[in-house]
Amino acid sequence: MHLEEEELQRLLDGELTAEAESATRRHLAVCDECRRRVAAAETEIADVGALLRAADSPPPEVRLEALALRGELAKGAVRPRGSPWLRRAATVLVAVGIAGAAYAIPGSPLRAWVHAVVTLGTKETADRGASAPPSSGGTGVSGIAQLPGERLVILFQPGGSGEARVQLSDDPNVEISVRPGAATFASKADYVLIGVRDSTAVFDLRIPLTAPWIEIRSGDERVFLKEGARVASGGITAAAARGYVLHVKL
Amino acid sequence: MESEKTPSFHQRFSELFDAHFQSVYRYLNRVSGDAELAADIAQETFVKLYQRGSVPDTPGAWLISVAMNLFRNAASTRRRRLTLLTPARVEASLGDAPLAPDEALEASYARERVRRALDGMPDRDRDLLLLQAEGFHYREIAVALNLNEASVGVLLARARRAFRKAYEESSDAS
């Protein structure tokens, strides 16, 4: 009499009672066939686990205060005096509200400031100033230019190093530039693969305003998305507009 | 037993966030293949917990059930799948000579194959696989998926085999 499949799985998943496990192990001590089945199932569990982990990406950074505030808002009862979390979160909300009004003014320098701060808060970006548009040619710069088509993924490998300054432009091409030697580039019709050789490199990316869908990924993490007339980064979505620079930690 | 919402609820909420957020996010990311959607729903799940104002008897199972429901609702209206790195011809390359990107591409393709294998599985098998991978007990999985607890092990074994088969078929096709 061999182990039932259910018994075998429960043994490996730690779901047997102590008594049932003892009995099962006594059987395994004398049954080659069941030991072979257990070994095969163990291998399968390990293989499946490894495959699943290979597809994982790191979790986002989340502010507990923001979740608490959203919880209170969902109940329709914001009471900023209720807790230290809510007081801090409410302060942030008011600041964002005031900044949002100024942000909406065409040409407002607050666009760069807001994006820099948002990026700082969510991605710990070091450089918080706006910059001039990147040079797209000439000496001292290497890079790539590509028509984006319907969809384009810009993939930085490995993730977690470097910084990108993303600027929306009227040019039809996506232009990516960096100092020579800092990176390598390869592209196909719907993606650009950037091998980051220097973790301190700052990439300048010019994204066409007309591009329908462009995603920037750092390793497995999406750090920027332009979808039609909207851009999203660091959990913030805004209208796509020229004239400001978004700093993205890669 | 549930505790009333007291000042200590904030402490418990913080502890539950630390203990379960990554697991909830990982489950959602694996089931959706969309990191941004997973992040949104994972946060919404904890907003629901805060909104509830008390700690459930089995917080892990409660959180994952809420996350599953939110995902099902989102998936029915916002089915966005990442289509990363589809094969196409090389078009242009300026500046430095291209690195041979074999390893990076291979890793990306491997992730895509895992995604395709998960996407191709029946919902129940996929949920079984992913919930067990997050350490949920058979009893909790049975409740979450409305299954007979006595057969969870057998169903799980089938789900693992189905996943491996789908992954290998995906590898053969690519």
Q: Does B49 touch chain A (CB under 8 A)?
A: yes
Give strand ranges (E) for A141-235.
Answer: 142-146, 152-157, 163-169, 174-178, 183-188, 191-196, 202-208, 213-218, 221-227, 230-233
Q: Indicate the burial class of B93 (C-beta count within 10 angstroms; 0-12, 13-18, 19 or more).
A: middle
pLDDT bucket at B102, cuts 50 / 70 / 90: low
Enclosing H/E stretch for A219: none
Taking an 8 Å cut-off on Cβ atoms, the answer to whether A220 and B153 are in contact is no
CA B35 to chain A, closest CA, distance in angstroms equals: 7
CA A98 to chain B, closest CA, distance in angstroms equals: 25
Task: Report the DSSP beta bridge partners of residue B90.
Answer: A188
| Residue A105 amino acid letter | I
DSSP annotation of A59: P
Task: For chain A, give the mean pLDDT.
Answer: 73
Interface-testing mutation among B86, B94, B113, B115, with chain A (most A C-beta atoms within 10 A): B94
CA B1 to chain A, closest CA, distance in angstroms equals: 22
pLDDT bucket at A87, cuts 50 / 70 / 90: very low
Contacts of A71 in chain B (CB under 8 A): 46-51
The Cβ of residue B102 has, within 10 Å, a number of other Cβ atoms equal to 8
Q: Does B101 touch chain A (CB under 8 A)?
A: yes
Domain regions of chain A by residue span: 5-54, 131-249
Taking an 8 Å cut-off on Cβ atoms, the answer to whether B133 and A143 are in contact is no
The Cβ of residue A29 has, within 10 Å, a number of other Cβ atoms equal to 9
Report d(CA A145, CA A214) in Å as an integer.
14
pLDDT bucket at B133, cuts 50 / 70 / 90: very high
Taking an 8 Å cut-off on Cβ atoms, the answer to whether B163 and A49 are in contact is no
pLDDT of residue A36: 96
| Residue A140 amino acid letter | G
Taking an 8 Å cut-off on Cβ atoms, the answer to whether B98 and A72 are in contact is no
Report d(CA A156, CA A147) in Å as an integer.
18
Report d(CA A88, CA A69) in Å as an integer.
10
- Per residue in B31-71, pLDDT (tens digit) is 888 888 899 899 999 999 998 989 998 899 999 999 999 99
The nearest alpha carbon in chain B to A83 belongs to B7
Query: What are the structural domains of chain B?
Result: 7-77 (1.10.1740), 105-173 (1.10.10.10)
Report d(CA A225, CA A240) in Å as an integer.
10
Contacts of B22 in chain A (CB under 8 A): 59
Residue A138 pLDDT > 80: no
CA A148 vs CA A188, B81, B88, B97, B109: distances in Å:
10, 19, 13, 21, 21
Q: Indicate the burial class of A5 (C-beta count within 10 angstroms; 0-12, 13-18, 19 or more).
A: middle
